[in-house]
């Protein structure tokens, strides 16, 4: 079985400021990634690591909004290219 092991991570506190954030450790867990492609597995790792390493929900949503804007910009440029 192909799995990813994640040690105990902090729980995000949506209202905490970064300077006041005190992580609460959770129990470790294993995620089965057997059915994922390598690209899906890497994407999952990236999202999970960002989720667990961002101290507040607002910062996380800001980062995801930036990713979304960059992706839309690339898609728009690709759509406007002529062959």
The total number of structural domains in the chain stands at: 1
CB-CB contact of 9 with 52 (8 Å): yes
Q: How confident is the model at residue 6 (pLDDT cuts 50, 70, 90)?
A: low
pLDDT in tens, 35-74: 989 999 999 888 888 887 888 888 888 988 998 999 999 9
**Predicted pLDDT at 1:** 58
How sure is the predictor about 13, in pLDDT bands with cuts at 50, 70 and 90? Answer: low
Residue 9 to residue 53: CA distance in whole angstroms: 9
User: Which among 41, 35, 43 has a CA at the least distance from the CA of 64?
Assistant: 43
pTM above 0.75, yes or no: no
Question: Residue 48 burial (CB < 10 Å; 0-12/13-18/19+)?
Answer: middle
pLDDT over 90, % of the chain:
22
- Domain residue limits at 52: 3-80
């Amino acid at each position: 079985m192909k799995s990813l092991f994640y040690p105990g991570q902090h729980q995000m506190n949506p209202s905490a400021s970064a300077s006041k954030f005190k992580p609460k450790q959770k129990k470790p867990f294993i995620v089965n990634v057997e059915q994922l492609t390598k690209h899906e597995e890497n994407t999952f790792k990236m999202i999970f690591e960002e989720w667990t390493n961002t101290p507040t929900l607002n910062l996380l949503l800001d980062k995801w909004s930036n990713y979304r804007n960059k992706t839309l910009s690339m898609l728009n440029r690709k759509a406007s290219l002529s062959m």
